[in-house]
Amino acid sequence: MTQKTLITVFSVIALGIAVSCIGFVSLQHTTEAEGVGMPSFPTAIGSSGPYILAAPFPDVNDSYPVYRTVPPDTSAEEIRRIADRFGVSGEIGSMPSNGKIRLVDRSKDPAAEFTIYTNCGAVYYSIPAKVYPKCPDKEANIPSDDEARTIATNRLKELGLLPGNVHFEDVVAGDKMGITDKTSRTEYILTKYVTFFKKIQGLRVYGAGVGVTINDKGEVVRVGSSLREYDPKPIRYVKIVTPEQAYQRLNSGDLMVQPLPENYKKIAVTNISLGYWMDIPSNPQKYIVPVYVFSCDASWDGNTEQVIRYVPAVDPSEVQGLT
Amino acid sequence: MRTTDISGYLVRALIVLLVAGIAVAPVLGEEQQEKDLSVFRTDEGSGPGAAAPDGEGTAIVMTSAGPIAVEDLVPPYPPGWEPSRSPIARDGGGLYPATVFDPLSSTLILYPGWNLVSTPLWLADGHDTIAVFDEVDTAGHSVLWYNGSSGWEAMSSQEEFIPLEGIWIYANGSYQIPLYFKPVEEQTGATKHLYPGWNVVGFYGLSQESARDTLISLRNAWATAIGYDAGTQEYEVSMIRGATGSHSDQRLMFPGKAYWVYMTEEATLVPLKATKDYHDLDYPQVGVEWVDNYDFNWQNPLSQSSNTSRGFYNTLVEEGGWIPMFEYGDHNVQGFHFTEAFDRQYIDGVDVALSASHGAPNFLVLSGVGDFMEFEDCSWGDNDLEWIFLHGCHTTNTSVYFKNPRAMNGVRLVCGFETEGWDMNDGAALAHELLSGSKVVDAWFNATEITHYPPIRVRVFGETLDCRDEHIWGHGSQLQDDPPVDSQVYDWIHACQY
């Protein structure tokens, strides 16, 4: 191969690389300008990770009490007794997954259901035919937030699910239905959802709570409590990590629940607090332990949504050997 | 800002590269696929005749004659006839078999000597028996059929000639046999029960497919498939499940041909193409894809995508009797499984599908670096898909990605998360809800509500308002007709509750 040929070959390769780089930059400009939303790598903030700290670290104690959960009484008599409080009777049937027991009361029209999780005592009442409306009823009016709160509070008091350490949290749209075409969107609120939270020794419980769903006729169509029973006498106090250490854990992905997002450009931590963790009803849980809660505003492509990250506040070694 | 002209060329160049990548992806992908043959595998046998088809040990099956390498399995020949040459083609032979079906004229082509053929579709009344071969001079040989449980049987002219059944016929010369198919609307599903050992399977459909896709419903029960080249009168190179190279299960099977398939256990073959819309109720099919592990270090690995997918898949299959079509995980999940060009062999080849991974409003995140599957490249429902669950963050956050241009192209419901979702195992619960008669939307809401709570919201896109009332096949009602596809989309949002 002659020297001229070699020079030509290398020139072509170099030109190709240069043009590719220019084209790649141009391509990125195009996708951004057209809002295609091609994924980009999350912004790394310093060496600590993608979460931007926009809230002070809270003052916390060195140690907090740990509580033992109490298995519920799942005898048929007890289940019937609780179901009866909700006005539900019927055959008891077990569900094949998640350790649920369910009663369906077909004497009602439409039928009502009562479900209890046998490993934690979480209870749910619902009217399946009404709990997820298909479309708005033009004859009905969805209650205002205040009306919904009153309806929910009264119902929970009747059911004995509103003790002194359970507090009102919020009223949100429970279910919505929308119609979208090329130029417009119409949205209807189908149900209101009223939430309540529990406190243990002044710390809020996360991961579980109490909720009431009210439809557009003001009917209570669902009541749920995922709170676990626990022995109010602490097993003992355990040392917790500092808020700064928890922030490091957050950035390293050491979370109670792993999220599935891919598109956040920025996540700003707007509040940090300490609470107690109750796991989802289908998971077994022996102890109620402290958890750090990072409330965040996550944003992408002009959108922002609130996300919450739960970070273990206690090292596993702290709860090993508890009896 | 628009790009300059030069970048336009580059975009086209990138597209060419992308297309090229897609073209080779199936081949590259097989390098990494699981090699979980249910047969034995040894690390010895690197010598001639026992070479591992994939270079990772020899696949062994137990036969009545003792253990034998899958590669060395030799299917039976018609009684009384032995080939003059090697009993089985080795590397380099039989890879390009003679064509036996002309789709333009719908004719079977018979070559002098023995032929192993099948009908690719159901034949019209009056043209659906072995009598279609009456003009063939068989030199006194019977038309033969192989019963997987009992062996060879001679066929009379009055016996049916039906899809998935392969027949051996001797031709004392070359022939072209015209086939008259039933109209499309009368083409029904076809299945064939296969027994341990050798079985003969006809190829269903008018377009070629890989052995892996053709036999996918047999899961791990098949070990090898071998065609017969009537042009050379010898067996072709075997296609071994999970193998690469010349024995790859990515090699193609062709219309009009039939194949020997060696089974290690009983199973029912349900061709992917056999059930499109006509027999959804008889042969409802499910497929799942999941990603737990990512190649990039900034991406948190997941632990429950596989459990959610397998729980969903296995529950529908084992408790609901659904036909299991595919379960791909991690690097075996490929973008082309979802996108328009090839989706009918994957996502759009089943009635219900579930995908679990990291997600975003306009794409799913696959395992490889920069490996994203964008919804705008999809066209679901123009083949078979009715319902799909996208278990990833924000997957149903923005409807425009499903209607512009046409990800929803016949699919009735797309279920996902409006907000972020969590790495939770809720697939089995979802399947149980569906099998217990819950509407598809209600099942999604109920299942995710067990594992998620405020402020998480799930959302379902529906093609029409009435899609909201649909149940899966066999467990409630569906729309009478396919919903019209237009620019409008209905959606239902549910705030997960305590």
Look up the CATH number of the domain holding residue B418.
3.40.50
Structural domain boundaries, residue B491: 276-495
Amino acid at A20: S
Which of B237, B272, B307 finishes a domain? B272
Please indicate, yes or no, whether residues B235 and B325 belong to a single structural domain of this protein.
no
Instruction: State how many domains chain B has.
Output: 2
B92 within domain boundaries = yes
Same domain, B359 and B481: yes
**Nearest chain A alpha carbon to B305:** A260
Q: Do residues A284 and A245 touch, judged by C-beta distance below 8 A?
A: no
Contact B274, B264 (CB under 8 A): no
B456 CA: distance to closest CA in chain A (Å)? 8
Cα B143 from Cα A306, distance rounded (Å): 71
Give the CA distances from residue B6 to residues A13, A16, A19, A24, B3, in Å, rounded to whole numbers and listed in that order. 17, 12, 8, 11, 8
- The residue out of B272, B299, B319 marking a domain boundary is B272
Each residue's pLDDT tens digit in chain A (323 positions)?
444 444 444 444 444 444 443 333 333 333 322 333 333 333 332 234 589 999 999 999 999 999 999 999 989 999 999 999 999 998 888 665 568 899 999 999 999 999 999 889 999 999 999 999 999 988 889 999 999 999 999 999 999 999 999 999 999 999 999 999 989 999 999 999 999 999 999 999 999 999 999 999 999 999 999 999 999 999 999 999 999 999 999 998 899 988 887 778 889 999 999 999 999 998 889 999 999 999 999 998 888 999 999 999 999 888 777 76
Q: Average model confidence (pLDDT) for chain B?
A: 84
Query: Which whole number is the average pLDDT over B341-370?
Result: 91
Give the minimum alpha-carbon distance from A15 to chain B in angstroms, rounded to a whole number.
13
The answer to whether A159 and B478 have CB atoms below 8 angstroms apart is no
Q: Do both B266 and B340 map to the same domain?
A: no
Which range is least confidently modeled, B56-65, B235-244, B487-496? B56-65
For residue B446, being part of any structural domain is answered with: yes
Judged against a pLDDT cut of 70, whether residue B35 lies above it is answered with no
In a domain, B13, yes or no: no
Task: Kindly state whether residue B194 falls inside one of the protein's structural domains.
Answer: yes
Give residue limits of the domains in chain A: 51-66+234-319, 70-225
DSSP B388-447: EEEESTTTTS-THHHHSS-SBSS--EEEEESS--B----HHHHHHHHHTT--HHHHHHHH
The dihedral sign for the CA sequence B462, B466, B469, B472: negative
CA distance B480 to A289: 53
Q: How confident is the model at residue B34 (pLDDT cuts 50, 70, 90)?
A: very low
Residue B130 belongs to some domain of the structure? yes
**Taking the CA atoms of chain A, what radius of gyration do you get in angstroms?**
27
Yes or no, beta carbons of B493 and A176 under 8 Å apart: yes
Count CA atoms closer than 13 A to B82's CA, side-chain side: 4
**Residue whose entry in the numeric block shows the structure tokens 């029973």:** A229
Interface probe, candidates A94, A95, A262, A303, chain B, greatest B C-beta count within 10 A:
A262
Q: Which residues of B touch A224 (CB under 8 A)?
A: 497-498
Contact A132 B365 (CB under 8 A): no
Q: What is the pLDDT of residue A98?
A: 61
* pLDDT band at residue B323 under the 50/70/90 scheme: confident
What percent of chain B lies above the pLDDT cut of 90? 62
When CB atoms are compared, the residue of A39, A260, A281 closest to B420 is: A260
Q: Are residues B231 and B246 in the same domain?
A: yes
> Quick one: B297 and B244 in the same domain?
no
pLDDT of residue A97: 56
- Among the residues of A35-110, which ranges form H helices? 76-85
Interchain contact, B360 vs A37, CB within 8 Å: yes
The end-to-end CA distance of chain A, in Å, is 81
Reported as a single tens digit per residue, the pLDDT across B107-154 is 999 999 999 999 999 999 999 999 999 999 999 999 999 999 899 999
Does a structural domain hold residue B109? yes
Reduced DSSP (H G I as helix, E B as strand, rest coil) percent helix, strand, coil of chain B, to 5: 20, 25, 50
| Collapsed DSSP state (helix, strand, coil) of residue A50 | coil
Instruction: Please list the residues that pair with B68 across neighbouring strands.
Output: B61
Say whether residue A182 is in contact with chain B using an 8 A CB cutoff.
yes
A278 to chain B: which residues are within 8 Å by CB?
Answer: none
Q: Are residues B239 and B298 in the same domain?
A: no
A276 DSSP β-pair partners? A205, A290
Of B472, B272, B494, the closest CA to residue B384 belongs to B272
- The beta strands (E) that lie in B12-147 are given as 40-42, 58-63, 66-69, 101-102, 107-110, 113-117, 143-147
Q: Does A98 sit within 8 Å of B453, measured CB to CB?
A: no
The domain boundary, picked from B272, B287, B319, lies at B272
Residue B87 has pLDDT above 80, yes or no: no
Task: Judge if B333 and B364 occupy the same domain.
Answer: yes
| B283 and B262 within one domain | no
In a domain, residue B268? The reply is yes
Architecture category of domain A51-66+234-319 in CATH: Beta Barrel (2.40)
- Top-ranked range on mean pLDDT: pick from A23-27, A285-289, B214-218, B401-405: A285-289
Q: Is the dihedral of CA B85, B87, B90, B93 positive or negative?
A: positive
The residues that bridge with B481 in the sheet, in sequence order, are none
pTM score: 0.75
**What is the band of B398 on the pLDDT scale with cuts at 50, 70, 90?**
very high
Give the tokens for residue B46: 């690197």
- ipTM of this predicted structure: 0.82
Q: Are B432 and A96 inside 8 Å of each other by CB?
A: yes
In a domain, B398, yes or no: yes
Q: pLDDT value at position A8?
A: 46
